[in-house]
Chain A
Amino acid sequence: MANLESIVGKVTPREGYEILTKEYLSENVVRMRVRAPEIARERRPGQFIIVQTDVDYGERVPLTIADANSEEGWIAMIFQIVGKTTEEMSHFEVGDYFPVVSGPLGKPTDLEKFGRVVAVGGGIGLAPLYPIVQGLKALGNHVTVIAGARNKGLLILEEEMRAVADEYIVMTDDGSYGRKGLVTHPLKELCEADPKPDMVIAIGPPVMMKFCALTTKPYGVHTLASLNTLMVDGTGMCGCCRVSVDGKIRFVCVDGPEFDAHLVDFDNMIKRLSAFTEQESEARDATCRFRAMVKEMQEASEL
């Protein structure tokens, strides 16, 4: 039983994609560098990979490529522990291998010189935003980053973002750091300012992206959102990742992940994201119970 092995942590695959570094960016957000020279060579900002922890029964999890180095042959991924698979991934250590890492998938971000760009990142969304901010800066754009998090402890990539962005604004829900409130507040202020932004890119929870789109729309500021729908294959074969954009069916894995945020039906997307919540929480509970049991057994045997 492959799952059991990876849980007990004795047998991890000997082949695949080696984990080179691992660090916690916050309590439940992990950054890993993985050896994948071919993906590192081809990837562009905005693209993602698919990771599996088990080749027979593992889920195919899409994760944005957060950083890469083609000379050294690695890519970085940042994930939040939210479900069974990310929980399992967090138990992989440096020197272990992920059996499946495939990509780069999706269309790269259209990077050009827009002028003044506002990049809004919420929670884990700051991870995919980072390479885009890097790319935008490299092309000479003026970039303002609005970073949102529930509280100070959950804010990630502050140093990295500060190092590249022209302006950096922090918003927390509880006011434990930066300004208290939602990312849409400073976004609205920036849209009202003169000159207003030439472009906005928003990456984060779907609700945040929805409200960013609603905020910028009255000002006619072109806004992109990077969508994180459910996926299975990630290669355009199954249609699980479909969203409605301007009333048409589009596939996030091949047509996206970025779309004109003013045309995306976020409400429907949010509903569709909940298709398996029941199964997912059951699976996570079962894993946690199982882990607790294993730990208890291990402790008992050590006594």
Chain B
Amino acid sequence: MPRFHRDPQILNNEALEILEGLQAKAALTPKDRMAIPLQKPAVLDPLERSQWQDEVEKTYTPAQAVVESMRCLHCKNPNCVKGCPVGIDIPGFLKATAEGEFQKAVDTIKESSLLPAICGRVCPQERQCQENCMIGKAHKDVGQSVAIGKVERFLADWERSQGHSGLEVKPESGHKVAVIGSGPAGLVVAADCRREGHEVHVFEALHKLGGVLRYGIPEFRLPKSVVDGQIETLKKMGVHFHTDYIVGRTRKLQDLLDKDGFGAAFIGVGAGLPIFMGIPGEDYVGVCTANEYLTRANLMGGINPGHSDTPMYRSKKVVVLGGGNVAMDSCRMAKRLGAEEVTVLYRRSRQEMPARREEVEHAFEEGIRFCFLENACAINADENERVKSVTVQRYKLGEPDASGRRRPVPIEGDTYELECDTVLIAIGNSSNPLLTTATPGLELNAKGNVIVDQETGQTSLERVYAGGDIVLGAATVILAMGEGRRAARSINKLLAEK
């Protein structure tokens, strides 16, 4: 039995007690609702969990989900919905949950979002729906907002446990749709186009499906069984998947349309080409991008060292550069793979970190060292060009910049040396060039991202649509999904008119 930081049994009993008390009341007043304590999910013990890959945070129990949903005030003009990139009817699904109507609640979510099990886990809720929640506002702490994401996750997991999650498919339309890339954007297009009865083929360059959900986001945050579940559902609906199929290389996009009979294509090839710092020493042995590190661990099975043929860095002292989700996943992974000391260097302060708030908290609990207002300005190596330290530059906050955030400025001469054997660079990705450079006529912006029509998601090529990170630059799962839905609507409309 794993040790818990917060024990599920105790939490569930607390929720049941609260529930009893609430059920005694005829109707809940806003004051009653405000008084209900935030439900905290069970969480694994930080010391223990940082040794293994198990999912850190557990799903609410049904009682917890019901109690948490009861905290919603059902505002007349719900701001949470405005904060949701895909406009989920949040009060609607919370109400159904509070009434114990879980299936109805899931169905409400699915009107707008197809991947609740994933979004419930990885959306930056504190900057979307939960940022606007009145309960959070009243407590002057976004951490006190209704835990919308956790209820969403509960509902999705509940549905999966019931075994019915398939979507209805209309009779075969006779049209074929090509989906390029099996990340969240591609999966959503596959589902929406298949529902209309189109024959959908998903082409994936790698040997496994799911895009970043597979190779980037670790098991301890998003169990692969959840991703597998989504893909299984699509397979059951009749979507065809082709791995090791690199569109632009194995087959040209235009050939899919002109020769293979596809009526439309969706480009969801995601971000690629990791960005480097541009500091001296990035070529040394032991400097690696977060993408490489996480891919070795997740996609290539490096988290099972006895099994995987792909070698892992044997790191004792790791420095991670960056402050986003990718940096958090990297530092926590490094700890789990045996690093004794993991330090995150971030140029700004904690409030500015783009990572999900919860991931930062979990990283702190797991003993990751954070150095704010600090950044590497050089990487140093021994005579074999193996990393031995980074030179760290200290910063202070200067005048606010265009975004209103105070700009970090280096404090001249204030540097020190930090010993390490591995440096993980997690400062972002530019666009994936594999398909775009092999597809003449596809218009790109200066950064190499595909340009699309804001209304329809169409690219400069006829019958070709795009969405997700390849359009937005590295963004989020929910945005990728939203873009996928927009493109799928356009594709379905196009094919209906044929």
Contacts and interface: CB of A to CB of B under 8 A. Distances in A.
Interface of A: 1-3, 38-39, 42, 52-60, 84-85, 88, 99-105, 232-233, 235-240, 242, 244, 249, 251, 254, 265, 268, 271-272, 274-276, 278-280, 283
A235 B31 CA distance: 56
Given A235-B246, A236-B272, A60 B310 contact: yes
B140 interface: no
B312 to A, nearest CB: 8
Nearest to A3: B307
Contacts of B384: 271
B292 interface: yes
Nearest to B255: A42
10 contacts: A39-B250, A100-B207, A102-B250, A237-B272, A237-B295, A237-B432, A239-B273, A240-B292, A278-B314, A283-B309
Contact of A238 (B274, B284, B312, B385): B274
B439 to A, nearest CB: 14
Given A42-B250, A102-B245, A251-B273, A276 B311 contact: yes
A292 to B, nearest CB: 19
Contact of B291 (A60, A85, A102, A238): A238
Interface of B: 205-208, 215, 243-246, 249-252, 272-274, 276, 282-286, 288-289, 291-292, 295-296, 299-301, 304, 307-314, 384-385, 429, 432-434
B205 A232 contact: no
Contacts of A249: 276, 282-283
Nearest to A58: B309
A227 to B, nearest CB: 14
- List of 6 A-B pairs having minimum Cβ-Cβ separation, nearest first: A102-B244, A279-B311, A238-B292, A276-B311, A59-B309, A239-B289
B429 to A, nearest CB: 8
A1 B312 CA distance: 20
Contacts of A3: 307, 309
A152 B129 CA distance: 71
A271 B384 CA distance: 7
Nearest to A238: B292
A229 to B, nearest CB: 12
The prevalent SS among residues of A at the interface is mixed
B251 A57 contact: no
Nearest to B211: A237
B311 A103 contact: no
A236 B434 contact: yes
A278 B312 CA distance: 11
Given A3-B307, A232-B300, A249-B282, 8 more contacts: A2-B307, A57-B304, A103-B246, A104-B250, A237-B272, A249-B283, A254-B433, A279-B311
Contacts of B245: 38, 102
Nearest to A2: B307
A266 B301 CA distance: 30
Contacts of B282: 249
A279 B286 contact: no
A138 to B, nearest CB: 22
B272 A235 contact: yes
A38 B250 contact: yes
B291 A237 contact: yes
Contacts of B307: 1-3, 56-57
B296 A232 contact: yes
A38 to B, nearest CB: 5
A271 B215 CA distance: 27
Nearest to A240: B292
Choose among B251, B274, B309, B432 the residue with the greatest number of A CB atoms under 10 Å from its CB: B309
A193 to B, nearest CB: 37
A283 B313 CA distance: 14
B308 A57 contact: yes
Given A60-B300, A101-B244, A279-B311, A235 B288 contact: no
Nearest to B301: A57
A122 to B, nearest CB: 24
Contacts of B251: 38, 42
B3 to A, nearest CB: 29
Contacts of A240: 288-289, 292
Q: Which of A52, A237, A279 has the most CB of B within 10 A?
A: A237
A265 B215 CA distance: 30
A104 B273 contact: no
Given A3-B309, A58-B309, A102 B205 contact: yes
Contacts of A236: 272-273, 432-434
A106 to B, nearest CB: 9
Given A249-B282, A274-B285, A42 B272 contact: no
B249 A239 contact: no
Nearest to B250: A38
Contacts of B434: 235-236, 254
B292 A265 contact: no
A274 B304 CA distance: 22
Nearest to A107: B437
A280 B311 contact: yes
Nearest to B270: A237
A235 to B, nearest CB: 5
A228 to B, nearest CB: 17
Interface centre among A39, A53, A101, A233 (most CB of B within 10 A): A233
Nearest to A278: B314
Nearest to B276: A249
Nearest to B244: A102
B135 to A, nearest CB: 40
Nearest to B425: A239
B443 to A, nearest CB: 20
A271 B285 CA distance: 7
B301 A56 contact: yes
A123 B336 CA distance: 40
A81 to B, nearest CB: 14
B309 A238 contact: no
